Amino acid sequence: MNHTYDAGDRLEAQIGTSVRQATYITGRDGMAVVKLDNGYNLGIPYDSCRFLERPGQSVARKPIVTQRDELPVLSIVSTGGTIASRIDYRTGAVTSQFDAADILRAIPGLSSIGRFRTKQLYTILSENMTPAIWQELARAVHEEIVSGARGVIVTHGTDTMAYSAAALSFMLDTPVPVIFVGSQRSADRPSSDNAINALCAAKTAVSELGEVAVVMHTTTSDDSCSIHRATRVRKMHTSKRDAFTSIGVPPIGTVKYPTLDVTLAAHARKRRETEPMVLPDLEPGCGLLSFVPGMDPAVLDAFSGYRGLVIAGTGLGHVSTAWIPALRTLAKDGCMLAMTSQCLNGRVCDRVYDTGRDLISAGVIEAENMLPETALVKMMWVLGNEDDPDKAAGMMKEDLKGEIEGRSVHGL
């Protein structure tokens, strides 16, 4: 028995009484997966395969991509989310494309928007992101800005894109657009949202915007993308194209498709309002805990030694009164406590009910209308950059990068 086939090897495959020529693809659950010449894959026992030959490598011919000198320089920093991929129909393998030329080949419309350079920082799944990578990403983006990029596009898996984008908002002062983009449907399919998101992101990156934003589909239709403020955006659906939503604020702009007309809202920060600066220090010892009814206060022991803890409380920002002593202890030990709401929409107010007043007296900061995840990354950044606890607490309640809306506007 030969289990040492390589992908692409030509085999003779016995299926029942039928014998066919096939190409070896891979092993799956103890069976050999082969591709018949009609394109179908199927799995057969290894002892039903007979080796025929190992064809030589064929080199795919790639059309040459030319970039137009007169267009503004845009930088694509990739972390793992794919905005472009290529399929090898011989083996069925799908490979992500990170090289500028490959991306432009996959999404030809990009070449009329800008002149691209790419930096492949990581190729990881977004759930494997860490604060340390956010820091590296912030430094890399800063470098691109100071070396003259008219805008920076960050490709990112969608699961934790909002965390990374919010983290960059705090670490980075940017005079140019820093646009996070990804795709909800894989880039290999003709229906993928990758190309439209990428084109809209690129157009936003050359626009008059001057802040960190997420650009993704507005609705299920391919007719526009929304530009979301990084500190107010949240992934609100597991799979739909329009999963990303601005919470409690309108999007800071839209990009129509296919015209690619960018409209920025009045509250969007504009290009060149600030000088580029990076303050990448973060305090990683921070946590986010969602309270549920009956949750044992002993859970809080797990956070002892943490420098900060964001709580996603119920309603206006509550936890069980049984938690108050344990929270008091955490606070006394130097752990910053901030209260957000599981409601996501609306402002925390701990001055209405007794429990809330007890929380405030225990040292809990009301995190206003900040999203829990945004409050977490903000806390990491605040504690990484400010040693004085009172000043740090003040910063938590102050709007730094659009994460806190002073007014709760009617209709949102």
Partner 1 sequence: MDYKTVGLKAGIEIHQQLDSRTKLFCRCPTSLREFEEHTDEYFRFLRATESEMGEIDEAAREEMKNERRFCYYTYDTTCLVEDDEEPPQPLNPEALTISLTIAKMLGMSPVGQIHTMRKLVIDGSNTSGFQRTALVALDGAIPVDVLPGGGGIETICLEEEAAQRVDDHTFSLDRLGIPLVEITTSPCMKTPEEVQEVAGYLGMVLRSTGKVKRGLGTIRQDINISISGGARVEIKGVQELDLIAEVVRREVRRQENLLSIRDELIRRGAGVREEPVDVTHVFSATSSGILKKADRILALVLPFFGGLVGREIQPGRRLGSELSDYAKKCGLGGIFHTDELPGYGVTPEEVSELRTATGASDRDCVIIVAGPEKKVHCAVLQVIKRARLAFEGIPEETRRMLEGGSTSYMRPLPGAARMYPETDVEPVYSRGIWGAIQVPELITKRIGRLKDLGLDPGVAEHIGYSEQYPLFEKALNQGVPPALAARTLTSTVKELRREGVAVDHISDDELIGALAAVGDGRAAKEAVPEILRLIAGGTPLADALEQCAGRVSVQDLGDIVRAVVRERQQFVIERGMASLGPLMGVVMAEVRGSVDGKVVSDCLKDEIRRILQET
Helix (H, G, I), strand (E, B) or coil at 299: helix
- Helix, strand, coil % in the chain, rounded to nearest 5: 25, 30, 45
In the annotation, is 4 catalytic? no
Instruction: Name which of 1, 11, 144 is nearest 78 in CA terms.
Output: 144
Residue 49 to residue 403: CA distance in whole angstroms: 60
Residues near partner 1 (CB under 8 A) are 15-18, 20, 28-29, 31, 33, 36-45, 87, 89, 92-94, 185, 188-192, 195-196, 219-223, 238-241, 258
Given CA atoms 40, 46, 47, 52 in this order, what sign does their dihedral have? positive
In the annotation, is 329 catalytic? no
Instruction: Using the minimum distance from each CB to partner 1, give the nearer residue, 3 or 189.
Output: 189
Residue 291 to residue 300: CA distance in whole angstroms: 10
Residue 155 to residue 158: CA distance in whole angstroms: 9
In the annotation, is 388 catalytic? no
Radius of gyration of the chain (CA): 25
Q: Which of the following is catalytic: 9, 23, 35, 82?
A: 82
Instruction: Using the minimum distance from each CB to partner 1, give the nearer residue, 82 or 174.
Output: 82
Please return the burial class of 171, using the count of CB atoms within 10 Å of its CB with bins 0-12, 13-18 and 19+. buried
* CB 15, min distance to partner 1, A: 6
Instruction: Using the minimum distance from each CB to partner 1, give the nearer residue, 99 or 188.
Output: 188
Instruction: Using the minimum distance from each CB to partner 1, give the nearer residue, 197 or 355.
Output: 197
In the annotation, is 274 catalytic? no
* CB 84, min distance to partner 1, A: 11
Residue 149 to residue 167: CA distance in whole angstroms: 21
Q: Alpha-carbon dihedral of residues 218, 222, 224, 229, nearest 10 degrees?
A: 40
Task: Please report the beta strands in 29-114, taking only residues with DSSP state E, as ranges in sequence order.
Answer: 31-36, 41-44, 49-53, 73-78, 85-88, 93-96
Residues comprising the chain, all counted: 412
* CB 97, min distance to partner 1, A: 12
* CB 12, min distance to partner 1, A: 14
Instruction: Using the minimum distance from each CB to partner 1, give the nearer residue, 190 or 293.
Output: 190
Q: Which of the following is catalytic: 235, 242, 340, 401?
A: 235
* CB 91, min distance to partner 1, A: 8
* CB 211, min distance to partner 1, A: 29
Instruction: Using the minimum distance from each CB to partner 1, give the nearer residue, 117 or 240.
Output: 240
Which residues are catalytic, by number? Answer: 82, 158-159, 235
